[in-house]
Each structure stands twice: as structure tokens, then as C-alpha cells.
Amino acid sequence: MYKFTNHLTNAKLVLVRRHVGESSCAALIVMRAPHRQYATKDKCDAAPKRPKSTKLFWGAIGATVLTGASIVYAKNSPDARNWLESNIPWANDVVALVYQENTTYWKAATNQFNRTTTYLSHFMFGKEGVTPPEVCSRSEQDIEKDAAIKFAKKTYQLPPPVIEPLYVEEKVVTTPQIESKATLVQTDKCEPQTAQEVKITKDMVELEQEMHENTKIAIDNYKLATQYCADYNKALFKIIEASLDDLDKKYFNGLQGLQQQMHNAHVKAKAASAKAKCAIENLDRMIKTGMKAPPESQATTKRYIKQFRADLTQAEKNFSAEQEKSVISDKYWNKVEAARTMFKDELQALFPGLDLSARKLNIRGDTDVLLVYALKRIQFLQNQLAEAQTIRDLKINRAIECHDEKAIIEAKAEDIIMAERMVRETEFMKKSMLIQAEANRQTKEALKKQLEIQQEVMHDRIAKKEKEVKIFFIFLPLYFQTGPQCQIKSTLNRQACIKRLMPVEEAIEMMANFNRAVSEQVEAERVEFKKELAAMAGKLKAIEQTLKQRAAAEAEARRSQSLWAAAEALLAATRRPAAHAKVDNELTALAKAGKDDKLVESVLKGIPADVREKGIATEKSLRDRFETLEKTAMKVALVGREGASLPVYFLSWVQSLLLFKQFAEIPQEELENQPTDFTKLDTFDIIHRARYHMDHGNLPAALRYVNLLQGAPRAAAKPWLDAARTHLEIRQAAEAVMAHASVSGLLYL
């Protein structure tokens, strides 16, 4: 196929047919024939200017981006860094220089300038004190000949094998015969020395025997004392842990016996150990000063000395360790014994003749005296506890003032004091409730007994009155027998006289009047007693109502304390040193402590469900992540919400590298939360203000400023914003519950 163009009309063109490749088609290539042209115009038109090419600019930008990405990848990848260090050392040096690992930019520039000036001075003027070597010129043929000889192929030959003979004659070592003149030296006559006899003295044998015996006695007694000490500790532990019903007097006697046996064994062991150590030291000193004894005996004695010293030291260590436990136990046991002795003396003073060794005390007398004394004793101990607490607070404050970590010490002291106070309050409440219950029971029993006694007294009085009336009616006729009016000599006459003197109707009326008077008196006494009983019952009801109110107030106060402790635990979880904190247990404890509390329930409902599963970021983690947020936001400060092209990203990154961070001061009005126009702030101003508040521990203010970011910086800061918002929600919930618990506790003080 041929292609014809309009160049065929030109006579100065030559058409050439040429095959292209292996294809079957051909092309006509137009070639200009050599000819000369002359200008026909006065002046040639200027060639149009070519537009400036941007390939160099974009190529430089691409190379810079690729180089920067390679450096960042090499910094974050240890494998790539090791490969660069092994294969391209200068690239590893470039990465170290960019991140200033070995030196700063200023020092690197100074060193490079010094090396360049030194190289130029040596190149131009030569090194000081060094003469340039003479270089002999060689012909080109010699150079080629030497190269051919050097690079010629060489044949590799194995080294000849070494054949060893099957039989080797042994060489007889003979003394070389050397003829030399003998020289006679005349010396003084010396007498032959005789070997000294080795004698073992009697002192050495006695000391060694004494060392063996005393060491055995000391070790046996130390073991025995250690065993007694261990038994003593076990017995003391059983006595302390056992209940009062299971205790017996023989336990205390056995404890004293073990203590005495331990003391005796320790004294014997100490004396034997002192004797054994003295014998060991004497033997050691005698051996060192060169005593006369065979080397075998000396070596055996040294071995025994070393072994006995180690055994004595180990036995003393074992006894000391067990004795330390016993000393700690005795410290608290002595306090228990002192308290028991004081209580025994107090009971003997209140109730003389009381048998304290009996399992059940038979107290004879008024038990109210014991209750009043116990109440006064409790008040005295409470005053002492308050005084000790005040002194302890002063000591803690003084220690805190002299220490740097004041907040930590205050927190620890408050925790310890709070725990101790809760334990004391619990014990006091238990004891007070027991005493109150016992007092109520005894009061009811006393009232019941008093009612029974009153009824018995009234019955006795009524019976006595009835007996007096009967006697009066029996002896009344006898009174009239001596009168002059009638002479009664028989029963019929007496009855007739009685009928005559006192009719039956009058006697019945008199008895009715008497019974009526007695009934009225009894009823009056009964009404008076009922009034007293009603007054006492009213007082008891008032006391019971007061106790119920007090118990309800204390229960509410304890609930407030537990609620405050749960909220404090939740708040402490946000300050953990770890990067992430699980708060599921704290939220569960808070829900249990704030059961049926509307405020706590509303606060817990406002916490998202994913917080229980995933947890929250701690304050330390937010501080560390803010560093990354700050760098990322400054790198993409020029990128908008819709994104941008690659050059804009590169310019933003270059701007973050070349930007000199010299921030202006924050206005005082803005720090005081006065009305401020935040639309005038750019990304760097916002990051600067957020950094200021993060350094000052004001996380809510930092969150508000980070929330002002727009575009790509806001997208980069979104994970941090979500984590900080969740953290603040949990912290504000804990603080709200703590404030609610504090107010509730103050209401019931």
C-alpha cells in the first residue's frame, strides 16, 4: 500500500521505496534533495517562542515526594533500615541526618563545610609535611601487557598429598657430649639438716574435741528452740483464731510452757554456740600461726572449722527468722493480754467475787452499772481515737509539706483514713446495736417483773383487808359479852345477841361498802399503774423511732460513702498509666451502689454501651495521641474539606516542615472565657491554643478548640475528638455522682 502526499508536486523531492520490517506493505519516504536556498525577503520572521515546559518543575516535585516517602518508610521500617545500612550506607546516613539521630542540621553543615575546605586546601596546596610521590610514566603497551598477564586464566592445581610412613622409628634422646673444662668452687662445710618431728599438742586435741561437742549441743538446742518457737506461733495463732466458746484455760498454760521451753533452749544454744565459736577461733588462730601438726590433720581441721561455722550460722538464721515471727505475734498478744487483764480488773471492781474462770458469768447485782461504765469507756476511747486522728493528720500534713509528691501522699492518707474509719464505724455500730437490743430486752423484762410484783402486792393487800374484816366480824360478838345488857352462856344466846345488836342487813351492807371501797382503791391503783406503763411505753416507742431514724440516716450515709467510693474508683480509672482502661467493673459497682437512685440511673443511662465493651482512653493516652494529632493537623493545614490535589498536599507538608513555631500569646479575654470571635483563628492558632490547655491539664478547653478545626485537620483529629469526648463523659459522670454522694452524706450527718 502506498501513501501519496502533496509533496509529489515538488520536483526537488525524490521518492524512495523502502520495506518496513517483515510486513508486506511498503512506504514512500520523502527525502529532500540537497539544494541551497536564498532569502527572498528582506528580513526573516522571528520564530514563535515555545511555551515554558513544566516537566522540570513537576519532576523535581515528584522526586522530592518520592525521596521524602522513602525516608519516612525507612525510618518506620527496621528491615528497610537494616538493608540500607548493609547495601547503601550513604542512604542510611541521609535518613539519620533528616531525623537528627546522630547530629543536628547545624553541626552537619559545619562539619561538611570543614571537610570541603580541608579537601580543597589539600588539593591545591598539598598536605603539610608530606612530599608527593614520584609517578613514573609507563607506555601504553606495557600497561596492556601487564593487564593481559594479570587477567589471564590460571589453572588450579591441588596440593600434593602428604603420605605418612606406616612405621616411624622412635628417636632416642641422648645427652649431647660437650667437652668443657670443669671449674671447682670451694664452699664452706655445711652440716646435714635433720627433719623436725611433727607433734600434735594436747591443747589442739582438747580444742577440737570441745569444738565438736559444743557445736553439736548448740545446733541441737537451736533446732529445739526453733521447733518450740514454731509450736508457740501455731498455738498462739489457734488461740487468736478460735472463738470464745472453744477456748480453755489449758491453752494459755500450754502457751506459757512453750514460751519457757523456747527461752531455756535458746539460752543453752547461745552458751554452747559461744563456746564452740571460741574453740573454732582458737583452732583457726593456732593453724594460722603455724602449729605443729601433720598437713592431713590441718586440712581436716580446717574443713571441720568451715563446716561448723556454716552450720552454726544457718541454725542461728533459722532461729532468728522464726523468732521474728514470734516477736511480731508477741507484740499483738501482749496487747491482747493487757486488754484482758484490764477487763478482768474492771469486772472485779464492778462485781466483787465474780468467778471469771467460769464459762458463763453469773453476775449478781445491777447490770445497769456495767452498761453505764461501758458507755463511758466507749466515749473515752472515742475521744482518744479522735485525738490520735488529729495528731496523725498533723503529722501527715507536716510530711506532705516536706515532700514533693503531695497529691499522691494525700490520696494515700485519705484512703487509709477512710478505710480505718469505716472499719471503726462498723464495729461501733455492731456493738451499739447489741447493747441497745440487750437494753431493750432487759427493760421489757424489768417492766414485766414490775407489773407482776405490783399485781402480787395488790392481791396481798386485798387478802389482808378481807382477813381483817373477817376477824372483825368474828370477834365483834365477844366484845359485847362483857356488857351489862346480856349474859351469853351458850351459842344460841350469842347468836341471839348478835342478831339483836347487828341485823343481817346491816352486816351485808357494811361488807358491800367495804368491798366497794377496796375495789375503788384497786381500780385507782390500776389506773395509776396503767398511766405509768403508758408513759414508759411512749418513751420506748420514741426511743425506738429515734433509733430507726438514726439507723436509716446511718444507712443512707453508708450508701453515700459506698456511692462516693464507686465514683472515685471510676474517676481513678480515667487516670491510669495504661493507654486504655476498662471501666465495666467500675460501672457495675456504681450501679450496685446507686440502686434506686434516680440521678445515678440517669447518669448511667447516658453512658454509651460500647464504653462498657471497649473501654475508654486514659488521660495519659490522650496526651500522647495529641502529639500525633498536632503533627498531622499541621501537615494537612492547607487541605480543605473536599480534599486537594497532590501539590497542595506537598505544599502543606513542606509548610509544616519550614514553619517556624513562634506563637503569639493568647489574649487574656479569651483565657477568661469572654466573648471571642473564633472565625479569625487559623489551624495553627487553634492547635497552639489546644496545646496550651493540654499542657495546663485543661482537657475540656482543649477539646473545644480542637472541635473548631475544619477540613482535613478536623478529619485527622476525629478519632482523638471521639476518644476525648468519651473520656470527658465518663469523668463528668463520676464527678457528678461524687458531688451527689457528698451532698447526700452531709444531709445525714
Q: Which of 331, 350, 369 is the last residue of a domain?
A: 350
Identify the segments of the chain with pLDDT beneath 70: 1-53, 125-203, 240-253, 291-292, 328-333, 349-369, 391-412, 414-415, 418, 426, 429, 433, 437, 470-508, 637-638, 640-647, 652, 655-665, 667-669, 672-680, 747-749
Q: Are residue 586 and residue 679 in the same domain, yes or no?
A: yes
Nearest Cα to Cα of residue 265 among 304, 306, 231: 231
Give the helix/strand (H/E) hosting 141: helix 140-150
The answer to whether residue 278 sits within a structural domain is yes
> What count of other Cβ atoms lies within 10 Å of the Cβ of residue 660?
4
The answer to whether residue 301 sits within a structural domain is yes
Q: Are residue 23 and residue 113 in the same domain, yes or no?
A: no
The answer to whether residue 42 sits within a structural domain is no
Q: Are residue 253 and residue 116 in the same domain, yes or no?
A: no
Q: Are residue 723 and residue 596 in the same domain, yes or no?
A: yes
Q: Angle CA(307)–CA(312)–CA(313) in degrees, nearest 5?
A: 100
Give the SS3 label for residue 163: coil
Q: Quick one: cell of 416?
A: 487509709
Query: Does the model's pTM come out above 0.75?
Result: no
Q: Are residue 14 and residue 84 in the same domain, yes or no?
A: no
* pLDDT for residue 160: 42
Identify whether the C-beta of residue 201 lies closer than 8 Å to the C-beta of residue 280: no
d(CA 85, CA 91): 8
Q: Are residue 208 and residue 342 in the same domain, yes or no?
A: yes
Q: Quick one: cell of 296?
A: 592431713
The answer to whether residue 716 sits within a structural domain is yes
Q: Which of 321, 350, 379 is the last residue of a domain?
A: 350
Q: Are residue 69 and residue 25 in the same domain, yes or no?
A: no
Number of domains in the chain: 4
Instruction: Specify the CATH number for the domain of residue 262.
Output: 1.20.58
* pLDDT for residue 48: 62
Q: Are residue 605 and residue 739 in the same domain, yes or no?
A: yes
Identify whether the C-beta of residue 92 lies closer than 8 Å to the C-beta of residue 71: no
Q: Are residue 696 and residue 640 in the same domain, yes or no?
A: yes
d(CA 506, CA 499): 10
What are the helix (H) ranges across 481-503? 491-501
The answer to whether residue 307 sits within a structural domain is yes
Q: Angle CA(488)–CA(492)–CA(496) in degrees, nearest 5?
A: 75
The answer to whether residue 504 sits within a structural domain is no
CA distances from 260 to 223, 232, 239, 321, 337 (A): 16, 10, 18, 19, 17
d(CA 616, CA 18): 80
Q: Are residue 584 and residue 697 in the same domain, yes or no?
A: yes
Over residues 554-598, the pLDDT tens digits come to 888 888 888 888 888 888 888 888 777 888 888 888 888 878 788
d(CA 225, CA 266): 6
CA distances from 667 to 392, 428, 685, 709 (A): 46, 57, 12, 19
Identify whether the C-beta of residue 91 lies closer than 8 Å to the C-beta of residue 84: yes
Q: Quick one: cell of 744?
A: 447526700
Residue 636 carries which side chain, given as an amino acid letter?
A: V
Long-range contacts of 388-393 (CB under 8 A, 24+ apart): 389/417, 392/417, 393/417
Q: Are residue 217 and residue 257 in the same domain, yes or no?
A: yes
The answer to whether residue 632 sits within a structural domain is yes
Can you say whether the dihedral through the CA atoms of 212, 214, 216, 222 is positive or negative? negative
User: Residue 665 belongs to what domain range?
Assistant: 565-747
* pLDDT for residue 71: 83
Which residues on adjacent β-strands are paired with residue 616?
A: 581
d(CA 389, CA 395): 10
Q: Are residue 605 and residue 668 in the same domain, yes or no?
A: yes
d(CA 725, CA 711): 20
Nearest Cα to Cα of residue 441 among 550, 367, 546, 347: 367
Nearest Cα to Cα of residue 653 among 596, 608, 712: 712
The answer to whether residue 282 sits within a structural domain is yes
